Amino acid sequence: MSSPKLTTVSSSVRSIGMQAAILLHKRMEGFKSEPQNIILPPKLIIRESC
């Protein structure tokens, strides 16, 4: 553990996994698309270091 607790930025692993599963399912169904950027909003977790 660190002291003070550090402020950090978190990304949702669940959201990333869900987007990956959706894209994979579309690909398996035969949908073809150009590569794309998908932006998922990060979450700022403010702790004692801020």
pLDDT tens sequence across 2-41: 789 999 999 999 999 999 999 999 999 999 989 889 999 9
CA dihedral 10, 11, 13, 18 (to 10 degrees): 150
Residue 2: inside a domain: no
Whether the predicted pLDDT of 50 surpasses 80: no
Q: What is the pLDDT of residue 2?
A: 79
Residue 39: inside a domain: yes
Q: What is the pLDDT of residue 22?
A: 95
Residue 24: inside a domain: yes
**Peptide bond just before 41 cis, omega within 30 deg:** no
Whether the predicted pLDDT of 1 surpasses 90: no
Residue 3: inside a domain: no
Split into its structural domains, the chain has a count of 1
Q: What is the pLDDT of residue 33?
A: 86
Q: What is the pLDDT of residue 47?
A: 94
Which domain does 27 fall in, by range?
8-45
